[in-house]
Amino acid sequence: MNGPIDFKAVFDRIPTPYMMMDHDLFIVEMNQAYLDVTGRSREEMVGRYVFEAFPAEGESRRLLEESILRTRDTGETDVIAVLHYAIPRAESVGGGFDDRYWSCTHTWVAGEAGGFVLQNTQDITDLKRLKDAAFRPEATPTTAMLGDSVLRRVETLQSQSVQIRRLFMRAPSFVAVLRGPDYVFDFANDSYLRLIGRRDIIGQPLDAAMPEIREQGFITLLDEVCRTREPFLGREMPVMLAREPGGILEERFLDFIYQPMIDADGSVSGVFVEGTDMTDRVLANQRQRLLLDELNHRVKNTLATVQAIAQQTLRGAKTAESFAEAFQSRLLALSHTHNALTDSQWAGAGLRQILEQELGPYGPERIRLDGPDVHLPARLALSLGLVFHELATNAAKYGALSTGGGRLLLSWSLLGDGDALEFGWRETGGPAATAPLRRGFGSRLIERSITGELRGRFEADYAEGGLTVRFETPLARDFA
């Protein structure tokens, strides 16, 4: 499963220096570019008051402190175009100060403990000296030297920018940058393009590039993010997307954030989009909930069936031993059918499979099965499994299977459009069938299962040549 972008790692890879202070102007974090440009270590700065870590007096200190406090107290971005501010050298290189010129941008970041001031600094010392040297004709060699230094710096920044772009392009999460009031696609990484079917969207407004989201409320969300300058976080939000232009809409579930991009002058220039496609997890959770509900339903049905078997068996048993034998036999029949359903993950079972499991112990040579392959829904399979068990038990005690020459002739067919089952059970070669003087558990179970639970029809013919049973039951009802 795709995870979120490691923004801490991205923060450290950004080529321009960033440093963050808390409400009381104590340094809490900085990126690697900041460490490089100041020549300091993280341990030297984290937790220190900013003007203790970088002491200064006079105009430079005043300008910097006023800018930081203005951002902290008003929440507005503040910019110092040029700031002359010397940086103390590390003791390891002899101490002293480096005379530097900086461009500083201070941005307010809402958060815990009163929020933070984010400082973006650019070392413009080379540019400042190049500008000064440009007005001194005698300094041509210096100008050329500084010009080479600036060019090398620009090349380095361009190279780092390309690396950052590649990092976002290959990120497992989907990333896009939307610019301007029409939300024009300025950037979209591979994951984003895969999500929308690799449509050509760069340079197009969101509304034109993805017209299917027009009425889904996402443009309204973007408008709100730009208006309030507050990010929006969505969790497993449904969205209908076409995987190709004009294609069929598919429902996807996304975790995402809309992050406003605030420029140095305080205006919102666009929205940064980052997120993860959670569809597989959401669907898996939905299936799991469905399976748990279904399992709960089936357990209740099975317990009700076991309870009925116990009550009816106890009612007809004369001794504890006869009850235990009959009850165990009927539970075993229920277990056989459960095994068949488990093999299919409770998607149902075949009629022939259930008959072979119930009648197999009596010898396949004594039983003829004649009928097409019929798939039974789970609940129907459980009910008919118990019906066949009772019929087989009766045949083994009193009917065709109680003698060496008896046989069972079983046949079935589908009725109508295949939405009903007609079944025939015929015993031959055994004793004459006689109607029971009282209705035992087996008779009640068969009648309750066929005519009651399954809403079918049932008839039994106790003939001289052997018992014949016929029943019909619908297949189209929901027996899950």
* Cβ–Cβ < 8 Å for 348, 374: no
> Where do we find the tokens 């008003």?
74
Pairwise CA distance, residues 313 & 329, whole Å: 11
- Determine the Cα–Cα distance for residues 135 and 142; give it in Å rounded to an integer: 12
Beta-bridged to residue 104, according to DSSP, are 80, 121
Write out the two tokens for 101. 């010129």
How buried is residue 323: exposed, middle or buried, by Cβ count under 10 Å (0-12/13-18/19+)? middle
How far is 335 from 300, CA to CA, in rounded Å? 15
Q: What is the pLDDT along the chain (480 residues), one digit of tens a residue?
A: 444 556 677 777 777 788 899 988 999 989 888 888 888 888 888 999 998 888 877 888 888 899 899 988 888 888 877 788 777 665 555 556 677 788 888 888 877 667 888 888 877 776 666 555 443 444 444 444 444 555 555 455 445 445 555 666 767 889 899 999 999 998 898 889 999 988 889 999 999 999 998 889 999 999 999 999 999 999 999 999 987 777 789 999 999 999 998 887 788 999 999 889 999 888 888 777 766 665 565 566 566 556 655 765 676 677 888 788 777 776 776 676 667 666 655 567 889 988 988 787 677 788 999 999 898 888 788 888 888 888 988 888 888 988 878 999 999 999 988 889 999 999 999 999 888 777 666 777 788 788 887 889 999 999 989 999 999 999 865 544
Tell me whether strands 367-370 and 268-277 are parallel, antiparallel or unpaired: unpaired
DSSP-derived letter for residue 454 is S
In angstroms, rounded to a whole number, what is the distance separating the alpha carbons of residues 99 and 245?
A: 58
Structure tokens at 80: 């110092």
What is the rounded CA–CA span in Å between residue 87 and residue 36? Answer: 12
Residue 172 has what pLDDT? 80
Question: What type of residue is 306?
Answer: V
Both tokens of 204, joined, read 């197009």
pLDDT reported for residue 49: 92
How confident is the model at residue 145, as a pLDDT? 46
Give 452's DSSP letter.
I
Amino acid occupying residue 326 = A
Can you give the pLDDT at residue 300? 62
